[in-house]
Amino acid sequence: MARYGMVFDLKRCIGCNACVVGCKQENSLPDGVFFTRTLSQEYGVYPTVNRVYIPTLCNHCEDAPCQKVCPSGATYTRPDGIVMVDPEKCIGCGSCAVACPYDQRTELKAESFKAGLFGTGEVTPFEKQGYVRFTPGMVTKCDFCSGRVDAGLDPACVVTCPTDARIFGDLDDPNSKASRLIRERGGRQPLPEKNTRPKVYYID
Amino acid sequence: MAANPKAVHNSIKPGRWVRSTCKMCLHSCTNLIHVTEDGIINTVEGDPTNPSNRGKLCPKGNSAIMRHYDPNRFKQPLKRTNPEKGPNVDPKWQPISWDEAFDIVAGKLKEALADDPRRIIPSLEDFQKMNIWVWPLAFGNFNFFQSGGTMCGGAYHPVNGYIHSAFAAANDAKYCNFWVNDGTGDGFSSHLHAAAQSYWVANARVDRGMKCVTVEPRLSISGAKSEEWVPIRPATDRHFALSLCHVMVSERWCDFAFLRRDTNAPYLVGPDGYFVRNAAGKVYVWDETVGQAKLWDDPTLGKLALEGSYTVEGKACKPAFQRFRDILAECSPEAMEKITTVPAATVRRLAKQLYDAAEIARDSKIEIDGRILPLRPAAYNYYRGAQGHKLGFQTNHAFKMVNFLLGNIDAPGGHMGVTLDDQWVEHGHIEPGENGMIKPTPHQLGPVPPFSWPPQTFHLMDYFPVGVHPPHLNLEVFMNPEKYGLEFRPDTMVVCHSNPLWAMQGPREKWFEFMRSMKFIVVSDIIPTETTQWADVILPSHDVFESWNMTMIEPPHTEGMCMRQPAVPPLYDTKSEEEIFTELADRLGVLDSYNQVLNFALGFVNKPELMLQPGIRYTDKEIARRKGLLWNGQDLDWYMEHGHAVTERRNDKWYRPWEGLRLHFYIEDMLKQRDDLRAKMDAAGVPYRDTWAWDDYQPLPTTRLDPVHEEPPEYDLYGIFFKDIQLNFGESLSNPWIQDIVYRDPVHIAFMLNPQTAAKKGLKATDILKVESPYGRIYGRLGLSEGWHPDTLGVSNSLSRAKGKLGGVKHAGGHFNDLLPYDLRNTDGVTGQPETVCKLRITRLDDWPQFLKDGGSVYDLVDEIALPGKGRKH
Ligand code: SF4
Ligand code: SF4
Ligand code: SF4
């Protein structure tokens, strides 16, 4: 069984947000909801200043605090390591959102489904065909496009990234591109001190 | 792809995939469109078979669905019932039938046409459909009211036409090892095929270790990803390039062999600036080996002189290269630093890095397809920000000069000419010109009007013989028609996928007057814009998922046609642009001449069996089919299966396609064009000929300052505007997904200033500012970033929309374009390129002006989603 994870190549990422929009498209996310974001951080003082673009998503932690605190069992981990949220079981308590040290949990407010993406109260056919997957009030997050992964495809954000800054793969396979990059370029996990054992690595 | 009936992810729901082409910018990444069993488009992905974008799309390309399902789309033809027009006036649209719409529009156009065709002013900006762009030529109309051209590359395109005989230019990411980006986001965020080019460049950077340097007043994405950001004062990039040239020439860090063999740098120039010719018109060079003048094609030529002074045919003369050296004498990095603020030491180091990286000293070679070519893997790339100045022609030429000295023009790893549309596979873009040089092709966008007095065009294109149309001059002439001798007034406007009221420089208030002077305005578009609100009739067109097209649009590393086909039937009662404009042509009685214009513009004349015939109205599908056939002989079924005919650029056309000819290092044609125009103006007695910008015509770039530097001293800052990949080309901000990313990005939600400068002025982040130039004013909130040159205030294009009641976008306190001049003083006399930098003064306000407090501004949105402390999500 694979153990899926993602590597972000900070040298490649140009902060274009194609991944962010591609994710909204693939997952029919309501306005203001993100499963992945690309942050930017400026550092230094003029003229020796720079900015880094940092893609983020759910880290699919091996010791996922969100899962530990979930009272309903809605949050679970698949055998391939993808941390999932079951919309049927989620009671919308928000414990996971408090527990996640990475701010990766979002509550889907009932209003956002009604306003529509254009805020006109008109819900487009695109939204209608997509929103059926959600239960309003549930607290959700990225699932590595689990359905695509089951079909042998990479997550949508990975496929569209113009610079190939997102590398998805089996971390247990030493020959996967992801494992190789982590090894060769010294992959680092986000907030290791939280002991969540993220399956997301950054290289630069 | 595997379909799963229970899938929650859109791309794997049951459905079908359709191959097509993106149109969220003017370029043409090909895509795959997923249509569900219920006929809903739920995914657009990049097409992995296209060697250009290879399955990738930029954020705009990923957001196309939101354009298709925009509830604000025009759903049927509309007629205005409110005679009052204004930016916030409801047109009170009344739905009408297509028949009625065509009757009204054709009636108004016919009336104008019968009286004076020049009364029609077109604004036709669909860059993927040049067949619509050229529509006015069917009745000999050269008026022009669209921004494409001067607000992108008014001077850029003509100079590329002179140097490469091509439309655009790019560094060769395949082999380049040292890439300078000046005032452009090529390879990172904008300009040519952003989604594709950022892939090519990321691979070069990460896999091959290509080094990048970005010269720009702001720390752009390109700057952030480069090894070095070189902050520069706006509108001084030419001086920076000349200082690099100074060092390269004085240190002998140049590819002299290239200059001697492949350029006109050794041609002898007389005191009048023209080449020295014999009686038969042949140009002289100086043969250093034997110390005598010879004709350029003399078979006994030894080593050609690039330097020195000579006397030939009784004339004192110098090689063109020496003339450039003479100019460079005053361009030391120390002298230029006073203008550019770039430290002299930085310039000297960069000159050496460029020279070393170009592998000139060891004269590196590479074999490609059996040809041994010079390998010159260092190049200077530039675009809008760097080139958009009053002295645009000279500025572009100065950047080319760095590349000339590196010997990298069209060389592997170097600076390449990028054609717009090759039309058919074998079509080469180089033709021999006079005296062994390539034929310059400054008019990359088709024919321009001949000289005429009184002028035949409202924007004075009659007097820009090598230019791209200067649309801002419509306003200058509108304000002073007598001064310019205009015998007509345009009053009937035809618009298609163009938004001049957003894109044009000069104050909105004056442009509104211009719009009010129109008796009739017809607009064909898909969603409301600043311009559609002024229309009398709206002719709604299909969108990109509902129509056919075939296009090749300046792809840097690839060539070939990209097909668009309908993925779904039209959602509404719309028509293709072809149907609309051929119907109008037919009703105006110019269908045959339109078809003939298309035969030339689309290249059908080159394969007579494809030529459009008189009397036939051709559909979007048939035009697409013929363009595909012209490209590679394949019919539509082949394209429907393959989606595109894109391959990597053929090496024989990409690398040194002019082999055996010489390039225009020295652009003598500037003098010919100047003298020719002058003679015509003199003969016609054009009253303003003595004040025409004759000095702008220079065969070599000079250090003359652009007039923006001479504004009154109280304007103590420079103003620039910028886009990033989320906003690259064209309208994006009515798209909720683009809004969702743009208004969370700190650089797109405030006027950006360096903290040092803010501190000096007693300003802090989030202060409300009034920003004034000598031409206009805008309002906004202050943002601080160390990534800004201290002399510069930056305004994102996201803050430059003018809200209308039906506009679909939010007002942001005024438009940067309001701050820019629209006059001749700030227009390049050669190309019509206007200045796009301004001088500014800023004042802190205690509160927003009332019109912004009335609600609905960008800042309300920003406060809600992105302001620190207010639930910032990004
Ligand atoms: S698509 Fe790729 S390059 Fe663009 S922001 Fe996302 S990770 Fe970065
Ligand atoms: S990143 Fe947050 S949401 Fe994702 S698995 Fe870890 S704790 Fe849970
Ligand atoms: S670069 Fe242009 S053509 Fe390519 S995906 Fe983006 S918007 Fe579409």
Q: B62 and A51 in contact by Cβ < 8 A?
A: no
Task: Tell me which residue in B59, B746, B785 faces A16 most closely, judged by beta carbons.
Answer: B59
Q: Who has greater pLDDT, B121 or B801?
A: B121
CB atoms near residue A99 (< 10 Å): 17
CATH architecture label of B156-422+662-671:
3-Layer(aba) Sandwich (3.40)
* Whether the Cβ atoms of residue B804 and residue B88 lie closer than 8 Å to each other: yes
- Say what the pLDDT of residue B873 is: 39
Question: How far is residue B768's CA from residue B782's CA, in Å, rounded to a whole number?
Answer: 6
Question: Is there an atom of ligand 1 within 6 Å of A166 CB?
Answer: yes
pLDDT in tens, B89-142: 999 999 999 999 999 999 999 999 999 999 999 999 999 999 999 999 999 999
Q: Which of A37, A125, A162 sits opposite B199 (nearest CB)?
A: A162
Contact in structure between B237 and B183 (CB atoms under 8 Å): yes
**Would you call A107 an interface residue with chain B, using a CB distance cutoff of 8 Å?**
no
For residue range B723-760, list pLDDT tens digits in order: 999 999 888 889 999 999 999 999 999 999 999 999 99
pLDDT digits (tens, 9 = 90+) for B215-226: 999 999 999 999
Q: Give B462-495 pLDDT, tens digit per residue.
A: 999 998 899 999 999 999 999 999 999 999 999 9
**Which amino acid belongs to residue B230?**
V
Q: Is the pLDDT of residue B855 over 70?
A: no
Pick from B136-150, B688-702, B820-834: least confident: B136-150
Measured distance CA(B738)–CA(B810) in Å, rounded? 13
Taking the Cβ of residue A37 and every Cβ of chain B, the question of whether any pair is shorter than 8 Å is answered with yes
The predicted structure's pLDDT at residue B874: 34
CA of A59 to the centre of ligand 2 (A): 6
Q: What letter would DSSP give residue B816?
A: G
B302 pLDDT higher than 90: yes
Where are chain B's structural domains? 10-68, 78-152+445-648, 156-422+662-671, 707-873
With CB atoms and an 8 Å threshold, state whether A25 touches B63. Answer: yes
Element (H, E) at A57: strand A48-57
Tell me whether residue B694 is exposed, middle or buried, using C-beta atoms within 10 angstroms of its C-beta: 0 to 12, 13 to 18, 19 or more.
middle
Contact indicator for B733, B30 with CB cutoff of 8 Å = no
Please, which residues have CB within 8 angstroms of residue B591's CB and are 6 or more apart in sequence?
B138, B582, B585, B614, B615, B617
Quote the DSSP letter at residue B689: G
8 Å CB contact between B779 and B815: no
**Ligand 1 contact via A158 beta carbon (within 6 Å):** no
A128 to chain B, minimum CA–CA distance in Å?
10
What pLDDT shows up at residue A6? 98
Is 60 exceeded by the pLDDT of residue B872? no
Does ligand 1 lie within 6 Å of residue A23's CB atom? no
Section B315-335 average pLDDT: 98
Distance CA B424, CA A73 (A): 62
Centroid of ligand 1 to alpha carbon of B321 (angstroms): 45
**pLDDT beyond 70 at B364:** yes
Can you tell me which residue has the tokens 């010791």? A63
Determine if ligand 2 sits within 6 Å of the CB of residue A57.
Answer: no
Q: Are A126 and B65 in contact (CB under 8 A)?
A: yes
Amino acid in position B329: A
| Bond prior to B454 in cis (omega within 30° of 0) | yes
Interhelix angle B577-588/B620-632, rounded to 10 degrees, is: 110
Closest protein CA for atom 8 of ligand 2: A66
Tens-digit pLDDT profile for residues B394-453: 999 999 999 999 999 999 999 999 999 999 999 999 999 999 999 999 998 888 899 999
Cα separation, B47 vs B51, whole angstroms = 9
Query: A with B: how many residue pairs have Cβ under 8 Å apart?
Result: 193
B257 has pLDDT over 70? yes
Contact B266, B260 (CB under 8 A): yes
Contact B742/B864 with Cβ under 8 angstroms?
A: no
Cβ pair A181, A10 in contact under 8 A: no
CATH 3.40.50.740 fits B78-152+445-648, yes or no: yes
| Closest CA of chain A from B364, distance in Å | 29
What gap in Å lies between CA B491 and CA B141, rounded to an integer? 14
ipTM, two decimals, is 0.97
Residues 131-190 of A with CB under 8 A from B: 133, 145-148, 150-153, 156, 159-165
Contact A40/B at CB under 8 A: yes
Query: pLDDT tens digit string along B620-656?
Result: 999 999 999 999 999 999 999 999 999 999 999 999 9
Q: How confident is the model at residue B149 (pLDDT cuts 50, 70, 90)?
A: low
Taking CA atoms only, the protein residue closest to ligand 1 atom 3 is A13
Question: Considering only CA atoms, which of A163, A174, A166 is closest in space to residue A203?
Answer: A166
Q: Indicate left, alpha or beta for B856 from its phi (over 0: left) and psi (-120 to 50: alpha).
A: left
Please tell me the predicted confidence (pLDDT) of residue B36. Answer: 98
Does A46 contact B at CB distance below 8 Å?
A: yes
Angle, helix B344-357 to helix B333-340, in steps of 10 degrees: 110
* CA distances from residue B692 to A166, B450, B823, B829 in whole angstroms, order as listed: 55, 17, 12, 7
* B640 exposure class (CB count in 10 Å sphere: 0-12, 13-18, 19+): middle
Ligand 3, pocket residues at CB < 6 Å: B 22, 24-25, 27-29, 53, 57-58, 60-61, 193-195
At residue A53 the predicted structure's pLDDT band, cuts being 50, 70 and 90, is: very high
Q: Please tell me the predicted confidence (pLDDT) of residue A111.
A: 86
Q: Which of B225, B367, B352, B289 is nearest to B725 (CA)?
A: B225
% pLDDT > 90, chain B: 91
| pLDDT-derived band at B5, boundaries 50, 70, 90 | confident
A-chain residues within 8 Å CB-CB of B189?
14, 16
In chain A, the percentage of residues whose pLDDT exceeds 70 is 100
- Mean pLDDT score across all residues of chain B: 95
* Among the bound ligands, the one closest to the CA of A13: 1
To the question of pTM greater than 0.95 for the whole model, the response is yes
Query: Using alpha carbons only, how large is chain A's radius of gyration in Å?
Result: 17
Distance, in Å, from the CA atom of A171 to the CA atom of A166, rounded to the nearest integer, reads 14
Higher pLDDT, B803 or A96: A96
Tell me how far CA of residue A187 lies from CA of A8, A167, B203, in angstroms.
9, 12, 19
Amino acid at A63: D
- Before A47, cis peptide (omega within 30)? yes
* CA distances (Å), origin B784, targets B117, B748, B838: 51, 12, 20
Whole-angstrom distance, CA of residue B270 vs CA of residue B311: 9
Say if residues B548 and B620 touch (Cβ distance below 8 Å): yes
Contact residues on chain A for B788, CB-CB shorter than 8 A: 46
Answer yes or no: is the C-beta of A17 below 6 A from any ligand 1 atom: yes
Q: Are the CB atoms for A53 and A14 separated by under 8 Å?
A: yes
State phi, psi for B551 to the nearest 5 degrees.
-150, 150
Instruction: Give the class (CATH, top level) of B707-873.
Output: mainly beta
C-beta separation of B434 from B788 below 8 A: no
Rounded Cα–Cα distance for residues B390 and B92 (Å): 41
3-state secondary structure (DSSP) of residue B26: coil
Q: What is the mean pLDDT of chain A?
A: 96
Cβ B786–A42 below 8 Å, yes or no?
A: yes
Q: Are B798 and B809 in contact (CB under 8 A)?
A: no
A18 burial via Cβ count (<10 Å: 0-12, 13-18, 19+):
buried
User: Hey, of A28, A39, A51, which one would you mutate to test binding to chain B, going by the most B CBs within 10 A of its CB?
Assistant: A51
**pLDDT recorded at residue B806:** 55
What's the average model confidence in pLDDT over B70-89?
95
Task: Verify whether the Cβ–Cβ distance B42 to A130 is below 8 Å.
Answer: yes
Q: What size, in residues, is chain A?
A: 204
In this predicted structure, what is the pLDDT of residue B22?
97
Question: Quick check: B794 contacting A, CB < 8 Å?
Answer: no
Q: Give residue-wise pLDDT tens across range A78-98.
A: 999 999 999 999 999 999 999
At residue B871, the pLDDT reads 36
Neighbouring-strand partners of residue A52:
A41
Amino acid found at A11: K
Q: Which two tokens mark B832?
A: 């019509």
Instruction: Kindly give the distance from the C-alpha atom of residue B520 to the centroid of ligand 1, in angstroms, as a whole number.
Output: 45
Domain B10-68: what homologous superfamily?
ADC-like domains (2.20.25.90)
Report whether residue A59 contacts ligand 2, using a CB cutoff of 6 Å: yes
Whole-number percent of chain B with pLDDT over 70: 98
- pLDDT confidence bin for B163, thresholds 50/70/90: very high
B630, B622 Cβ separation under 8 angstroms: no
Instruction: Tell how far the Cα of B471 is from the centroid of ligand 3, in angstroms.
Output: 26
Ligand nearest to the CA of A202: 1
A87, A140 contact by CB (below 8 A): yes
DSSP state of B551: E
Q: What is the pLDDT of residues B172-198, one digit of tens each?
A: 999 999 999 999 999 999 999 999 999
- Identify the structural domains of chain A with CATH numbers, from first to last: 4-203 (3.30.70.20)
| Closest ligand to the CA of B553 | 3
List pLDDT tens digits, range B601-610: 999 999 999 9
